[in-house]
Structure 1
Amino acid sequence: MNLANKITLARIFLVPVVMIFLLVRLNLGVIRFGGGEITISEIIAAVIFILAAITDGLDGYIARKKKLVTNLGKFLDPLADKLLISAALISLVEMQRLEAWIAIVIISREFAVTGLRMVAAAEGQVIAASVLGKLKTIVQIIAIVVLIVNNFPFSTIAFPFDEIITWVAVIITLLSGIDYFSKNYQVIRFSKSR
C-alpha cells in the first residue's frame, strides 16, 4: 500500500475519533463565552476534523506528484470524504446544531453524484471534480467546523455566521449537484441497458 492510500486510510480511521469527541460526554472542561459555550471535546473534534479534511488534498497531491494513483485510491478517496462529511453532519444533527433536512440534502447529493460517477465508470468515462464541486467541499468543511465549535468566536459578537455558512453550503451543494447532472446527462441517457 502506497503513502497516498495510507493517508486516505488514516482519514477513514479519524472519522470515529471525531464522532467520539463529539458524541461521548467526555468531561474535559467547558469554555464559556458571550453567547454560549464550547467544550474542550468539541475543540479537539474540530481540530481532528480539520486535520482529516486536510488529508483529502494531501493524499491526492502525493498520488499525482509521485505517480501513485491506484484503483484502490480511486475507491478509497471518495469513500473517505463521504464518511467524514456524513458522520460529522449526522453528529451535528444529534447535537441539535443542524437541522436534519440539511444533512439529508447534503448527503443525498453526495450519493447521487457518486451514483452518476459509477454509471459513467461503467461506460468507461471519468467525471472529474468540477470547480463548483471543489468549492462545495471547502464550504461544507467550513460550515461543519463552525457548527462543531458552536459558532465560536462569532457568537461573542452575536453574528450568526453558522447560519449563513450553512445556507451557503446547502445552496452550493445543490448547485454543484445540478451542475454535475446537467453536464453529464448523456451518461445516464445513453448508458447501456442491462
Structure 2
Amino acid sequence: MKLRWLPNAITISRMVMALPLLWLLMIDDYRSALWLALVAGLSDALDGFIAKTFDWRSALGGILDPIADKLLLSVCFFGLWWSLHLPTWLVALVFARDLVIVVGALAWWRLMGTFKPAPSLLSKMNTTLQIGLVAVVLAHLALWRVPLVFLQSLLLATALLTLLSGLDYVIRYGSRAWRALGSRQ
C-alpha cells in the first residue's frame, strides 16, 4: 500500500468502528462507547491532517470522509435513542433532515447532472452541535452527571439547528434547481 492511501485507510477504519460502537451503545457500555467515539473523532482529525499536510487528498477520500462521519453520527443517534437516552422526535428530525438532503441530491443528479455539495456554515454548525450533543450525552452516561437543564438546552438547540439547516438546504438548492431548470426552457 502506498502511503498516499493512508488517509483513506484511516477513514475506512473509522467506518468499520461504527458497528462496534453501535453494539457498545446497545449493550449500555457507555464508557467503552465514549472511548471508541473519541478514537474515531481523533482518527477523523488525523486523516484530514495527513491528507492536507502531504497533499494526499483524493476524490475517494472526499466522498468517504463525510460518509464515515455521517455513519458514526447516525450510529450514535440511533444507539442513544435505542437505549432511551435521546427522544424519538429528535432522532426522527435528524434522520429526516439527512433523508431530505439525500433525496434532494439524487433528484438534482437525475434532473441536472453532477451534484457538488457545498455545506453551509449553518450545516457545519449543525454537525458540530450534533457531535457535541452525542459527546455530552455519552460523557453524562459514562463519566459524570451533566445538569439536566444543560442537557435539555443542548437537545433543543440541536433540534432547532437541525431544522434550520435542513430548511436552508431545501431553500438554497431548491432555488438553484428552479433557476437552472428555468434557464433550460
Give the alignment's TM-score, normalised by structure 2: 0.80
- The CA deviation at 1:65 is 3.8
Which amino acid in structure 2 is aligned with residue 140 of structure 1? Q
1:142 is matched with which residue? 132
How far 1:64 sits from its partner (Å)?
Answer: 3.8
Q: Is 1:112 aligned with 2:100?
A: yes
Partner of 1:89: 77
Partner of 1:28: none
Indicate which of 118, 134, 144 corresponds to 1:128.
118
Measured after TM superposition, the shift of residue 10 of structure 1 is 1.4
Q: Deviations over 1:42-77 (max 9, x none)?
A: 122112112213433443443344333333223322
Where in structure 1 are there 5+ consecutive unaligned residues? 26-40
The residue aligned with 1:170 is 159
Q: For residues 47 and 72 of structure 1, do their structure 2 counterparts lie closer, same or farther at Cα, with a shift above 3 Å needed?
A: same
Deviation at 1:95, TM superposition (A): 0.8
Question: Following the alignment from structure 1 to structure 2, what is the Cα–Cα distance between the partners of residues 179 and 94?
Answer: 29
For structure 1, which segment, 112-121 or 101-110, has the greater mean C-alpha deviation from structure 2 after superposition? 112-121
Are residues 1:18 and 2:21 paired? yes
Higher strand share: 1
Deviation, 1:154, is 4.4
Could you tell me which residue of structure 2 aligns to residue 69 of structure 1? 57
Equivalent residue letter for 1:135: M
Change (3 A) 1:186 1:67: farther
Distance 1:104 1:58 in 2: 31
More helix by share: 2
Distance (whole Å) between structure 2 residues aligned to residue 74 and residue 108 of structure 1: 24
Partner of 1:36: none
Which of structure 1's runs of 4+ aligned residues deviate more than 6 A? none
| Partner Cα distance (2:6, 2:100) in 1 | 29
Paired amino acid for 2:92: I
Return closer, same or farther for 1:98/1:63 CA change in 2, 3 Å cut-off: same
Structure 2, unmatched stretches of 5+, are: none
Which residue number corresponds to residue 50 of structure 1?
38
CA distance in 2 between counterparts of 1:184 and 1:110 reads: 14
- State the secondary structure of the residue aligned to 1:50: helix
Q: TM-score, normalised by structure 1?
A: 0.76
Between the two proteins, the alignment pairs up a number of residues equal to: 176
Counterpart Cα distance in 1 of 2:113 and 2:156: 35
Once residues 177 and 57 of structure 1 are traced to their aligned partners in structure 2, the CA distance between those partners, rounded to angstroms, is 25
